[in-house]
Amino acid sequence: MMIDMHATTLTVKIDLSLAEKLLSELPAQGFELTKQPYTIFAAKKKGVSCTLYESGNLVVQGKEMQEFIEFYLEPEILHEFKFSHPEAHLNLTPHIGLDEAGKGDFFGPLCIGAVYADGEGILKLHQMGVKDSKRFSDESILKLARKIRAAYPYVVIRLFPQKYNELYGRFKNLNRLLGWAHATALGDLSEKTLCKTAILDQFAEKQVVETALKQKRIEVDLEQRVRGEEDLVVAAASILARAGFLEGLEKLSQEYGFVIPKGAAAIVIDAGVKLIQKFGPDVLDKVAKTHFKTAGEILARVSSD
């Protein structure tokens, strides 16, 4: 059963065999039923809507949905309480979480974040509202990162472009570079905290990081997960990594007196052209990941101007 939760929306995939039960019980709770395209039904009452799609996705929305979910949907349909009591489903085993940021951005550093938390610390992360960094604005990321850095053991490895390009030239492969960086961060934090259990948001084949750990003679019990940021400690690491990237990009912007953009889109090419026109072609090695095809596109634009 897969659940996606936001402040006023719950999306959960259910077995369509439950549709008949819902259809028979929802009217007694005051819902009016209608049939919309691509749905089994759409139910609505004041403050709550409940729609079951032909895909099996059940979507509940509304300012008054909490009571409906807690007292009917969870006990009668879902048989679990991840929405109303999410803390009961947290992994409270002390562990290290790891994630990275900046690998898809042409400008700025590559950052690896590693955070350690015990059971009490994990509950505190939950209370702080920590979740995957992609769900936060840049401003919120920076604020949360300050709180995490003040309260938890952590390591952030920040590879500014000049060092990144040197390492990429050595590894000839981004995943191998990432494996080395994750292993380095994990080894440093494991030594600092004596923790031998870790979860990594998986970015490549598992042996990539396992090989890097063996090369560094780091012995840890590492679990690599797709969507690893669903774990709160990994989510905290993703926040520190993203904050490290944002702060690094700001540092480069101040150094060159130029607002250097995120991403790898058209605005990035325009910025690269302007930087080269002002500082010369060597500037790319200092501000950008030069193995990106974006570098060639920028140089071609400069040559044609």
Domain-terminating residue out of 53, 88, 123: 88
Q: How many domains does the chain have?
A: 3
Cα 150–6–32 angle (5° rounding)? 160
Considering the domain architecture, whether residues 140 and 224 belong to the same structural domain is answered as yes
Contact 224, 202 (CB under 8 A): yes
pLDDT of residue 79: 82
**Cα-based distances in Å from 52 to 46, 57, 80, 117, 168:** 18, 6, 18, 38, 48
291: which 2 tokens?
């193995």
| Global confidence as pTM | 0.74
Domain-terminating residue out of 227, 251, 275: 251
For residue 106, what are the domain limits? Answer: 95-251
How does strand 197-201 pair with strand 95-101? parallel
Considering the domain architecture, whether residues 274 and 227 belong to the same structural domain is answered as no
Q: Enumerate residue ranges in the chain where pLDDT < 50.
A: 1-6
Considering the domain architecture, whether residues 99 and 211 belong to the same structural domain is answered as yes
pLDDT of residue 6: 43
pLDDT of residue 134: 81
pLDDT of residue 37: 93
Q: What is the CATH number of the domain that holds 58?
A: 3.30.310.10
pLDDT of residue 74: 85
pLDDT of residue 262: 93
- Rounded CA-CA distance 6/175 in Å is 32
Considering the domain architecture, whether residues 103 and 209 belong to the same structural domain is answered as yes
Considering the domain architecture, whether residues 219 and 282 belong to the same structural domain is answered as no
Residue type for 304, please? S
- Rounded CA-CA distance 240/98 in Å is 10
Q: What is the mean pLDDT of the chain?
A: 91
- Rounded CA-CA distance 66/86 in Å is 13
Domain-terminating residue out of 64, 88, 112: 88
Considering the domain architecture, whether residues 105 and 177 belong to the same structural domain is answered as yes
Considering the domain architecture, whether residues 236 and 279 belong to the same structural domain is answered as no
Considering the domain architecture, whether residues 123 and 170 belong to the same structural domain is answered as yes
Contacts of 182 (CB under 8 A, 6+ apart): 98, 100, 112, 114, 200, 209, 212
Considering the domain architecture, whether residues 74 and 39 belong to the same structural domain is answered as yes
Residue-wise pLDDT tens digits, 25-62: 999 999 999 999 999 999 999 999 999 999 999 999 99
Considering the domain architecture, whether residues 247 and 101 belong to the same structural domain is answered as yes
Contact 148, 126 (CB under 8 A): no
